[in-house]
Amino acid sequence: MKNPFLKQDKGLKIIIVGCGKVGTTLVDRLSRENHDITIIDQNNEIVQRVAGTYDVMGVTGNGASFAIQIEAGIKKADLIIAVTESDELNLLCCIIARKVSSCATIARMRNPDYSQELGFLRSQLGLSMLVNPELDTATEISRLLRLPTALSINSFAKGQAELVKFKLPVGNMLHNKVIWEVTKDFKGEMLFCGIEREGNLVIPDGNFVLREQDIVSFIATPINTHAFFEHIGVETHQIENCMIIGGGKTSYYLAILLTQMNIDVKIIERDGRRSDELATLLPNALVIHGDGADEELLAEEGIESVDAFVPLTGLDEENTLLALFAKRYPDIKVVTKINRSTFNDVIDELEIGSIMYPRYMTTEKIIRYVRGMQNSIGSNIEIMYGIFDNRAEALEFAIDKDSPVIGKPIMELSLKDELLIACIYRKGKIFIPRGNDTIMPEDHVVIVTKHTGFKDVMDILK
């Protein structure tokens, strides 16, 4: 029986300008959520291929052209997303769309020259959202390097809660332990949210038995995260120095973030002009002109003694090989950037440390906004992450006073299967809810589920 409180929304009419990696990923995800998609790209071959693959409408032409936008149906559109390779073209697309329709507008902005002006541009141009994949990727990497034991860290409740994924080491004390025993023995609050074993993902209950080599995801405050790793005998410490291969936009942003964390940064860039430019822009980092794929150069620059190694070249194959090479040194934290989404299963089987997919980060931010446009009265999606290769989602909902879920003990809510209410953020404090706890107005509630497409906190109910 469908929940009577839920509004049965139709999909939105969305125009996506630019069918590169991010644009195509958006088409894939949004079309699966039953939105009416029209794509615009200047390359007719790409338009035909993407439109045919995903059964969406396609228009060939300049997305900043008034006539092309009219042909794509801008006057009836709910949202336009401009993710071409040009920041200026993306802005122009959104400005024109705002002039001829009342639709929401999202633009991708990648140039560091604009990074300090995003708030100004958004407010002055009336944009709904600006996304910067390189800055988002750099931010995620810097967060990981604060806790190198983790494979990934997702932040919730203004940084007060973290969803941490790690691989349970061989011989660890948690091997063959039942989850309820583990949480009972640990004095701080934490909750196991997902376990991956031999490719199978489980949202565990208290009777689940942990095994070494499991990929384990749990939620806790940052302090309890460190305490939990210490409790189970897993060493964790912030790294002191980092070697970055490649001098692109992500490397630039990452170097700034790491130097602000008092981490020594060394960048190896093969293009002489770019290395000179970075040396000027990053006075607190050491920039080396050379080929980061040269084994002798890596040895000369002391790869065996670095705490973290981050290949950020433009080639997935090179990043993967460099990561495999760095993993010869077992104490190095390796973070690998992968742009394409093909061969994910193969890549996940390789021992190349933490893997970053910039296109997914951007896509998740945009999908969160899209779902927020559809939500019913009573809550709003604040944060959304695809976890375990997008086989599950972790979402944070802000609860309004009108939400029908408030006031009832959680044990009395008819929750969907394969779903956890992972934590509640209330008046500046985080707690793991029990059956007798209730959701209250102004709470922020974090949900972990194998279901996808949630737009409202009421979607957690059967």
Rounded Cα gap, residues 191 and 355, in angstroms: 24
pLDDT category, 375, cuts 50, 70, 90? low
Q: Which amino acid is at 339?
A: N
Asked if 288 and 278 count as a contact pair (C-beta separation under 8 A), the reply is no
Looking at residue 344, its pLDDT comes to: 65
Rounded Cα gap, residues 22 and 403, in angstroms: 34
pLDDT digit string, tens, across residues 1-60: 333 333 445 789 999 999 998 999 999 999 998 899 999 999 999 999 999 999 999 999
Using a pLDDT cut of 90, give the percent of the chain over it: 71
Q: Is 302 helix (H, G, I), strand (E, B) or coil?
A: coil
Q: What is the pTM of this model?
A: 0.84
Does residue 199 have a pLDDT over 60?
yes
Give me the CATH topology for the region 361-460: Alpha-Beta Plaits (3.30.70)
Query: What count of Cα atoms within 13 Å lies in the side-chain half-sphere of residue 137?
Result: 27
Report the 10 Å Cβ neighbour count for 260.
10
Give the Å distances, CA to CA, from 247 to 22, 119, 251, 301: 21, 26, 5, 16
pLDDT category, 343, cuts 50, 70, 90? low
Q: Which CATH architecture has domain 241-356?
A: 3-Layer(aba) Sandwich (3.40)
What's the token pair of residue 202?
A: 């489980």
Does residue 440 have a pLDDT over 90?
yes
Looking at residue 122, its pLDDT comes to: 80
Q: Which amino acid is at 81?
A: I
State the DSSP string of 142-203. HHHHHSTT-SEEEEEGGGTEEEEEEEPPTT-TTTT-BHHHHHHH-SS--EEEEEEETTEEE-
Looking at residue 331, its pLDDT comes to: 86
Looking at residue 188, its pLDDT comes to: 87
Sign of the dihedral defined by the CA atoms of residues 203, 205, 211, 212, in that order: positive
Mean pLDDT for 282-292 is: 96
Does residue 77 have a pLDDT over 50?
yes
Rounded Cα gap, residues 187 and 62, in angstroms: 59
Which residue intervals of the chain bear CATH 3.40.50.720? 13-131, 241-356
Does residue 377 have a pLDDT over 70?
no
Mean pLDDT for 325-342 is: 87
Looking at residue 396, its pLDDT comes to: 94
Looking at residue 378, its pLDDT comes to: 55
| CA angle (446, 452, 454) in 5-degree steps | 60
Mean pLDDT for 413-422 is: 94
Using a pLDDT cut of 70, give the percent of the chain over it: 95
Nearest to 12 by CA among 461, 308, 455: 455
pLDDT digit string, tens, across residues 288-314: 999 999 999 999 999 999 999 999 999
Looking at residue 190, its pLDDT comes to: 94
Give me the CATH topology for the region 13-131: Rossmann fold (3.40.50)
Rounded Cα gap, residues 47 and 284, in angstroms: 44
Looking at residue 334, its pLDDT comes to: 94
Q: Residue 177's beta-bridge partner residues?
A: none
Contacts of 73 (CB under 8 A, 6+ apart): 13, 15, 38
Query: What count of Cα atoms within 13 Å lies in the side-chain half-sphere of residue 314?
Result: 7
Query: What count of Cα atoms within 13 Å lies in the side-chain half-sphere of residue 303?
Result: 26
